[in-house]
Amino acid sequence: MDRTILHMDLDTFFVSVERKYDNRLKNRPVLVGGIGDRGVVAACSYETRPYGVHSGMPMKMAKALCPEATVIKGDAGAYSKESKIVTEIIREGVPLFEKASIDEFYADLSGMDKFFGCYEIATQLGNRIRRESGLPISFGLSTNKIVSKVATGVAKPDNQRKVEAGEEKPFLAPMLIKKIPMVGEKTNQILYNLGIKYVKTVQQMPMEVMGRVLGKNGIVLWNRANGIDDTPIVPFHERKSISNERTFGKDTGDVRRMREMIRAMAENLAFQLRNGNKLTSCVSVKIRYSDFNTFSRQIKIPYTSADHLLIPQVEKLFDQLFNRRMMVRLVGVTFSDLVTGNYQINMFDDCEERLNLYQAMDYIRNKYGTDERGNAILSWGTTLGIPNIASMGNPFNGEPPVIPAHRNQ
């Protein structure tokens, strides 16, 4: 039985939320991001596109290209709130869905056409989202995730597109190869140098040739170009939290040491979030005193995976919890309410240099962050001599977490 996969994308999400809160922005060029000259464009309205503006570019350049645009510093809290509203609508409307990012969703409608046409179900769901959230949304419907995602891009803005079973290959053929998900600037340039500009060229090539050019990624790209993709829907009820805790070998009242410990935990957990392409919106700190009484406190925050935003929250919670009159046995940090998404949501607070710095630090840590035995050597915890605080594994690979044999410190 052919699958029926729905892909939904909230159009220019950050801009649409701002327009929902201020309708004077409708039909006007809008830039959302860092408002300083060194800020970065997190989102831009369709009205700015003819000027050459795109997300990720320096705000200074975007304002020079489109000087009449209204520039807004983004509100991560508002975007998180609106995303959750849409998520709940989708949760009620389909039996199985995946939240791919703060503004992007997949749903498996396979078999539902026995009762009601899948396209009609998707249309009604889209209309309900528009009606109840006040936000525009586009969707694509096909037999797999890749074709549906591309179809959504074709449908935008605020529209829909269905690709019938068997029509995947001709649908993709006339498109530029960079329209295929996974083809970034570097891969696109490699293919362009080989004379490959359109999807149809890849479709006409033997799969083995693509494999020789790009290795395993070439095989994946060949399949995607031919409309072949069996990637499953990852249910939204995937892992919802990551945590780290340590029991001291001897109860301690050393505030500096405890603060170093929780800071190291937060730093490593944030790194794991970024590595797993995740964001958190809930931070918790736990303290267990020498009498075994355990206390915890949490705070809701806008979605993020950034050290400089998470570590201060962890330290703040610790200061609220710690009772200086009693020795401490254990401390722990938890990040929960996780969703798939990347660090770009913080673009409206950060300059380009900071974004590049995070990418560089994570690259170095992934490449050089372990010794010959696989132990982490590049982290806040290891520089402080705190063993086992850093993990280089992926907590979001579906496998149960590895519990070290000795977690005492």
59 and 39 both lie in a single domain: yes
Per-residue pLDDT for 374 more than 50? Answer: no
Three-class SS state of 162: strand
Mean of per-residue pLDDT scores for the chain: 85
Say if residue 37 carries a ligand binding annotation.
no
The amino acid present at 21, given as its one-letter code, is Y
> What average pLDDT score do residues 371-385 get?
48
**DSSP assignment of 297-364:** EEEEEEEE--HHHHHHHHHHHHHHH--TTS-EEEEEEEEES-EE--GGGGTTT-BHHHHHHHHHHHHH
What is the model's pLDDT at position 99?
Answer: 87
Question: Pairing state of beta strands 97-101 and 70-72?
Answer: unpaired
CATH number of the domain bearing residue 189: 1.10.150.20
d(CA 202, CA 218): 10
Three-class SS state of 34: coil
Write out pLDDT tens, residues 282-331: 999 999 998 889 999 999 988 888 898 999 999 999 999 997 788 998 99
214 and 256 both lie in a single domain: no
Q: Of all helices (H) and strands (E), which one includes residue 285?
A: strand 278-289
Work out how many domains the chain is built from and give that number. 3
Instruction: Give domain status of residue 232, yes or no.
Output: no
194 and 96 both lie in a single domain: no
Instruction: Give domain status of residue 233, yes or no.
Output: no
d(CA 312, CA 267): 11
Count of residues in the chain: 409
What is the model's pLDDT at position 409?
Answer: 43
Instruction: Give domain status of residue 231, yes or no.
Output: no
194 and 159 both lie in a single domain: no
The amino acid present at 73, given as its one-letter code, is K
Write out pLDDT tens, residues 7-62: 999 999 999 999 999 999 999 999 998 776 667 888 999 999 999 999 888 888 99
250 and 369 both lie in a single domain: yes
Instruction: Give domain status of residue 234, yes or no.
Output: no
196 CB contacts (<8 Å, ≥6 apart)? 177, 202
Helices (H), 173-287: 185-193, 199-203, 207-214, 216-225, 255-275
Instruction: Give domain status of residue 316, yes or no.
Output: yes
What is the model's pLDDT at position 157?
Answer: 92
2 and 148 both lie in a single domain: yes
Per-residue pLDDT for 124 more than 90? Answer: yes
Q: Is 234 left (phi over 0), alpha (psi -120 to 50) or beta?
A: beta
Active-site hit among 98, 104, 267, 352 = 104
CATH number of the domain bearing residue 82: 3.30.70.270
Strand partners, 246: 331
Instruction: Give domain status of residue 44, yes or no.
Output: yes
306 and 178 both lie in a single domain: no
Question: Pairing state of beta strands 97-101 and 104-108?
Answer: antiparallel
What is the model's pLDDT at position 62?
Answer: 94
Two tokens at 141? Answer: 């419907």
Q: Which residue has the tokens 């949501």?
A: 345
260 and 115 both lie in a single domain: no
The amino acid present at 77, given as its one-letter code, is G
As a whole-number percent, the residues of the chain with pLDDT over 70 amount to 84
CATH number of the domain bearing residue 319: 3.30.1490.100
245 annotated active-site: no
Q: Of all helices (H) and strands (E), which one includes residue 44?
A: strand 41-44
Two tokens at 354? Answer: 């900071």
Say if residue 103 carries a ligand binding annotation.
yes
d(CA 175, CA 120): 27
197 and 65 both lie in a single domain: no
351 and 245 both lie in a single domain: yes
Per-residue pLDDT for 389 more than 80? Answer: no
Please answer whether residues 329 and 248 qualify as being in contact, where contact means their C-beta atoms are separated by less than 8 angstroms: yes
Instruction: Give domain status of residue 96, yes or no.
Output: yes
Three-class SS state of 84: helix
What is the model's pLDDT at position 386?
Answer: 53
Question: For residue 348, what pLDDT band results from cuts at 50, 70 and 90?
Answer: low
Write out pLDDT tens, residues 239-283: 678 999 888 878 999 999 999 999 999 999 998 888 888 889 899
Instruction: Give domain status of residue 26, yes or no.
Output: yes
Q: Of all helices (H) and strands (E), which one includes residue 64?
A: helix 59-65
Per-residue pLDDT for 388 more than 50? Answer: no
Of 146, 165, 184, which closes a domain?
165
The amino acid present at 343, given as its one-letter code, is Y
161 and 174 both lie in a single domain: no
**Residue-range definition of the domain harbouring residue 94:** 1-165
190 and 135 both lie in a single domain: no
Please answer whether residues 389 and 262 qualify as being in contact, where contact means their C-beta atoms are separated by less than 8 angstroms: no
Which of 342, 302, 363, 300 shows the shortest CA–CA distance to 40? 342
Of 119, 134, 165, which closes a domain?
165
Question: For residue 395, what pLDDT band results from cuts at 50, 70 and 90?
Answer: low
Dihedral sign, CA of 176, 179, 183, 188?
positive
Write out pLDDT tens, residues 174-228: 999 999 999 988 899 999 999 999 999 999 999 999 999 999 999 999 999 999 9
